[in-house]
Each structure stands twice: as structure tokens, then as C-alpha cells.
Amino acid sequence: MKLITKLEDREQKQRLDTLIEAVTQSLDNEDLLKERIAELEFAWEDKDFIQLNELGDGKQFSRSFLRKINYWARLYWLKNPLIKRAVNTQTQYVFGQGINIQADDETINEVLQAFLDNSKNRIELTDHQSRMVKETELQINANLFFVFFVNQFTGTVSIRTIPADEIEDIICDPEDNKTPLYYKRVYYQKEYNLFGRDIENKQKTVFYPDFRSTDYKGPVRLSGVEQEAFVYHIAVNKLSDMKFGVSEVYAAIDWSKAYKEFLEDWATIAKALSRFAWRVKSKGGKRGLQNVKDKLKTSLGSGSATENNPPPAAGSMLLEPEDKSMEPIRTAGVVMKAEDGNKIINMVSAGTGIFYHYLTGDPSTGNLATAKSMERPMEIMFRDRQQLWVSIFTEIINFVIKQSIKAPKGKLTSMAIIELDDYGEEQVKWSEGIDTNIHISFPDILQKDIDSLVKAIVSVATLDGKKLAGTLDMETVTRMLLEVLGEENIDEIIEKMPEMPPEQPTEGQNMVVEAIKKLKEVISKHNGQEV
């Protein structure tokens, strides 16, 4: 009896264990099901939006997501004609005609031109091609990180850039989040053995001080700070509470992809409809169809080297029996046109600011007024970008000048001193009598303005007379005319001009007037019209 009881207890325990396992499994399945449902609900609600974990602190994209955007922006610039055309159009309008930078003071200009002509700096920024690359990178990555390397003895400055994806974070002043202090760079560097073979990619973390806070004495203290390099960060397409900019082509990538897929679908349908052009009806079952097939097929398709069953010549007469009929397949109204995708291109245009006919290269969509004046929004957009670059070069030049003043053997050491203002920022105090003007200018975007500008300069300089009226001096007139014509080496040309003796002002004035007349004649012949 006791044995039976023990067996029953054992069986009950087994059933109880089985029940507990089943309940546990059921609860686990229920939790899993709830998680899956929650994921589906979230995916449905968020299908057209960025996931919250990509928004970082809720105000800006996370660095990982920005790297994804930069990757796709770079890829589409390389392979998608619409994105490439939009980016290249802006780059060419902004820097295609060059930029003129010069200082009025001879010594300051010497320091400035030495920086611009330095071979390393030309590779990075000051050469025409490097400027074009930097404008392209700014559109694609929306962030540029220039690095200044300073020779503490002579004050000379070399400039380089850090890849935007290597900057992990920007550390700002805890009391002022608009003041960047340090830039955290995380990157991999190869290490080599004695035989020159790389043995590993070692991760490194370096902090670079901001070029405006080189003497920061606040509470933020970091190890691994680079002491001889300073970063200047330029960011576009961002709000004031965002640390990093977002690619300027980001808004157009999806639409450029949609247009690519539209054309692929259109080409597929067009190819499918072009497979059959005629419909032939025949009686006689399979034998009748085979006879028609034998009559129409080419012998080249069967591997024959010569054609012994050529198709009829165009315009031939077709003789068919009563029980057979051959007629073309009507495709009118069936095939969608490639032009039906123009609305998609308009969305790319809206995302990049580049008008439709610039993206497609179709001149039929423009008119004479468009060709002469260019769309005003695009013109303003390009001028706005040029002004940004004027600000960028101004900041860089001011930094170069300050380093030359600070250095013991700097060329500008004896001409000025550095003082701190009430906000603790460095200010240059020049000696008396020094002309500190620095000119940074772009040639006019619209070439159509050359005629009118030359005429205006001549009118102001001569007051519509035959010689200079004293309103503008000879060098100023020459400089203005060369800038209008898009000449880059203005300083060199002016230096080579013979100086006019002060005792012969009339002769010098007349020489300028004659030069202006010849210039007007050349421009008139070039444009086929009178100035």
C-alpha cells in the first residue's frame, strides 16, 4: 500500500513538473509575443521616421547615424547623376572662377601670401583644386575640421583636415554650450615592425583644443590633449543647439534613388513591350503556327553563319491568305513616359536648391531670361556660400596673423601685440600707421554683368570724361577691372605695372584711359556688342 502511494506521489510530482514547465513556457511565449507585437507597433508608427535611438540626445542625430548619412551621401555623389550634378554645380559656381586674397600692408601681405603659397597648404586648402574639394566635402559631410599646426618659433602655420567621421564628440564649456573647447578624435593607426610590415591597427584617442580657446583655464581637464595642433570646425545645415551639421544632400537622397528606380522600371516595361511588335493569327493548329514561325524566323538564330531567310525590306507588301492575319501590336497609351518622372526630379531640386534644367541638362526647359540672369534663388544661394567662405578664410587668416605676432621670430612681432579683452579673448593691437585691411573677394557669379560693371567703373573713374576725374586712383581702377574680368593674380599684375611719376599725372591718367578703352574694345568684340 505504501509502495502504491509512493508511485502515485511520484506520478503527481511528474505531472506537476510538466504543468509548471508548460505554464513557464506559455508565459515566456506570451512575453516574447508581446515584445514582437510592440516591435511591430513601433515599426508601424515609426516607419517614416528616424528611430529614437538615432536621435542621440533628442535634438540631433547620433554620431553613428551621421556616419551612415555621410556614407550614403558620398556613395550617391559618386554614382547618382542627380546628386553629383547638384553638388558639382554649386561647387563650380562658388569656386569655379577662383578667389582673390590680399592685404594692403606689404609686410602683412607677405605673411599672408607665404601661407597661401606654402606647398602643404595648397594641397589642403589654398590651391584651386583643393578649394573645390573642400566645398564638395562640406556639402556631402556638412562638417570640416581644419587642424592648424604652428611653428612656435617662427609663427608659420600649416593646415590639414581631420576626416569628419573620426571626430567622436565636441566638448563644450559647461557654462556655455556655444563655446567648443576640445574635439575628441577616435581613429585607428597602423603600427609597423622592424621589417616595415604592419602588425596591427591600434585605436587612438586624442583631444584637440579649439583654435579660439588655446589658453583655456576652466574646470574641464582632459588627458591626451594635443598641445601643438588646434582645430577649426565649420558646420552647415544645422540648428544652433546641434554640435554637428547634417549632409546637405540628405534631403534629396531618397528622391534621387526613387528616380533611379523609376527609370529602371520604365526601361524594363519599354523593353518588355518592345519584345513583340506584330500579332499574327493563323488557322491550322500547331502546324499552322509552326509554318508561320518558320517563315518569319531568322536563320542566324539557329547558329547559321549566313542569313538564308532574311526579313523583308522596309515598305514591302505582305500577301496573306484569308485565314491568316498579321497586324502590329498597339502600344499607344500603354507605356508610361520617362518624362512622367520629372516630378521626382523636382523633389531632388527642392532638396538641393539646384533648378531642374541644371540637373538634367535639358535647355528646352529654360528661356532667354533664365539663361541671362539665372534663377535668383540659386544666385543668392551661391553668394551666401561665398560669404561663408569669406568668413572661413577671414578666421584662418586672423589666426595666421596672430601666430606671426606671438612668435619670437615672427615677421609681425614688432608691428602689434596681443591683448585680452574683457571677455578673455585675444585681440590684436596694431602700431599706429599700419593699414590692416585685408581683401577677400570673388569674381561676379554672372558673367553677363561684365559689360555693365566695366562701363560703371569707367564712368565713375572718368565721370564720363576723357581722363581720370580723381574719384578713383589708378591702382583702384585697375584692381576693380581685373576683379571683374576674373583675374586671380591681381597683385602680380599690379606689381609689374610701371609707376607713374607724380610730376606727370596727366600722362599717367591718359594711359589708364587708353587702357580702359582697349579693354572695352576687347570685351565688345568678345560679346558682339557695344559697351
pLDDT in tens, 31-64: 666 666 565 555 544 555 555 455 555 677 888 9
- Cell numbers describing residue 451: 559689360
Question: Which of 146-150, 444-448, 503-507, 513-517 comes out lowest in average pLDDT?
Answer: 503-507
What does the angle CA 368 – CA 381 – CA 443 come to, to the nearest 5 degrees?
75
DSSP assignments along 452-491, one per residue? HHHHHHHHHHHTTSSS--SSS-HHHHHHHHHHHTT-S-HH
pLDDT in tens, 519-529: 555 555 544 44
Q: What residues pair up with 313 in beta bridges, in sequence order?
A: none
- Cell numbers describing residue 391: 568668413
Instruction: Tell me 320's DSSP state.
Output: -
First to last CA, the chain: 127
Cβ burial 116-130 (10 Å sphere, 16+ → b, else e): bebeebbebbbeeeb
d(CA 480, CA 492): 14
Residue 391, pLDDT > 90, answer yes
pLDDT band at residue 530, thresholds of 50, 70 and 90?
Answer: very low
Q: What is the pLDDT of residue 502?
A: 47
pLDDT band at residue 503, thresholds of 50, 70 and 90?
Answer: very low
Q: What is the number of other CB atoms lying within 10 angstroms of the CB of residue 373?
A: 12
Q: Are 355 and 90 in contact (CB under 8 A)?
A: no
Q: What is the pLDDT of residue 469?
A: 57
Question: Which of 320-329, 386-395, 420-429 comes out lowest in average pLDDT?
Answer: 320-329
Sort strands 325-328 and 167-173 into parallel, antiparallel or unpaired: unpaired
**Which region holds residue 5: left if phi is over 0, alpha if psi is between -120 and 50, else beta?**
alpha
pLDDT band at residue 504, thresholds of 50, 70 and 90?
Answer: very low
The distance from CA 200 to its chain's CA centroid, rounded to whole angstroms, is 33
- DSSP, collapsed to helix, strand or coil, labels residue 413 as coil
187-212 average pLDDT score: 82
Q: Are 401 and 429 in contact (CB under 8 A)?
A: no
pLDDT in tens, 319-342: 666 676 777 777 666 666 778 888
d(CA 83, CA 253): 7
Q: What is the pLDDT of residue 128?
A: 95
What angle do the packed helices 81-95 and 376-406 form, to 10 degrees? 60
d(CA 146, CA 167): 12
- Cell numbers describing residue 368: 532667354
Q: Which residue has the higher pLDDT, 410 or 524?
A: 410
Q: What is the pLDDT of residue 1?
A: 46
Q: What residues pair up with 103 in beta bridges, in sequence order?
A: 438
In terms of average pLDDT, the best of 289-293, 350-354, 386-390 is 386-390
Residue 516, pLDDT > 60, answer no
The values of phi and psi at residue 487, to 5°, are -75, 130
Average pLDDT score over the chain: 79
Q: What is the pLDDT of residue 130?
A: 96
Percent of residues, the chain, with pLDDT higher than 70 = 67
Question: Which of 11-15, 296-300, 366-370, 484-488 comes out lowest in average pLDDT?
Answer: 366-370
Q: Are 99 and 441 in contact (CB under 8 A)?
A: yes
271-294 average pLDDT score: 75
The values of phi and psi at residue 434, to 5°, are -95, 125
